[in-house]
Amino acid sequence: MTELMTTNNSFADLAKAAGMLLASEGSETRTNSLSRLGLLQKPIVGKQEVKGKMVNVEVVEAGYVKLENADTRELFYAESAHLRPYMQRVLYKRFVRGSGDEPNKFIKTVMATDLNSDLKDTEGGFNCGKPAGYIKDWNAVPDALKSVIKQIKRTRAIFGTVTLYGVVNASGEQVDLEKDIPVIWEIDNRDAFKDSNAPFRSLYSRKELPMHRRINVSSTERALPNGESFYLPKLDLDLSNKFDINGEEQALFESFLDWVNNYNSYVLRQWDTKVNGDDLPSGQNALLDSFIEVEGEAA
């Protein structure tokens, strides 16, 4: 295995590997499975007995941090969390609602360290259908293409380890979870995409790598015109402690790089299949599905 930290590595080299150029101006690991972090957008309602009657009550509040276990798909929730980031990548993704026998699906591009070039996607195109370059005249864009562009989301994928606090399950029951769980967090809300770069930008200016620090994770509520609410991540960089980087951190960093490389390899293979009509080798469709998650419409 290639050593991450050597005397020959410059900060610039390590920062590039960690995806930190996005912030500038200009244990055993599994590469096909990572737990997923997110936010709960709607409260979970359950039945509880109140004065002898079963009534609907909120057992988990909206805005909680959500963790989906990579192996069991079980969901856990917490008021707050500590995220130790290791690296970030960016991609485009587009939700396509199914019709008839066609199920819902996500179209996703490869993951990159920036969005300055065209990225191949799982449908044999680029950028999930977004035209290359800056659109100077939006009014001149055909309506059908406008509709596609509005569906495409810039997405920031943060890789790291998370520790949840005050953890409950979907029934609102307290549970114990291990600490420092390897996760991926895909942040695709337009405002959150920009805001979630702030910790990396701050670390870049300090010439520190992401894994030197941790981020305090909670949520902030935003109101909608119809009176309902949605929640955005609140990421506060914690500068009170600076963590050492040892062999375990180096190994996990490389496993995240392997995960991204494997993900990109399958996306590129899918792109080639769509373009050239080749069939995926037996068993690889299932592996691809583990990367291209289909969970319903993106929040």
pLDDT in tens, 138-157: 888 888 888 899 999 999 99
Residue 56 lies in a domain: yes
Cα–Cα distance, 196 to 217 (Å, whole number): 11
Residue 3 lies in a domain: no
Residues 6+ apart with CB under 8 A from 57: 45, 46, 47, 48, 50
Share of the chain above pLDDT 70, in %: 84
Residue among 94, 79, 92 nearest 40 (CA): 79
Cα–Cα distance, 91 to 274 (Å, whole number): 19
Residue 63 lies in a domain: yes
pLDDT reading at 287 higher than 60: no
Q: What is the pLDDT of residues 182-202, one digit of tens each?
A: 999 999 999 999 999 999 999
pLDDT at 299: 41
User: How much is the mean pLDDT over the chain?
Assistant: 86
Lowest mean pLDDT among 44-48, 167-171, 218-222, 261-265: 44-48
Residue 53 lies in a domain: yes
Cα–Cα distance, 272 to 281 (Å, whole number): 13
Kindly state the helix (H) or strand (E) to which residue 56 belongs, with its residue range. Answer: strand 53-60
Residue 296 lies in a domain: no
pLDDT reading at 14 higher than 50: yes
Cα–Cα distance, 254 to 248 (Å, whole number): 10
Angle between helices 284-291 and 247-276 (to 10 degrees): 120
Provide the domain count of the chain: 1
Cα–Cα distance, 133 to 235 (Å, whole number): 30
Residue 118 lies in a domain: yes
pLDDT at 6: 59
Paired strand residues for 126: 120
For residue 154, what are the domain limits? 11-291
pLDDT at 295: 45
Residue 297 lies in a domain: no
Residue 264 lies in a domain: yes
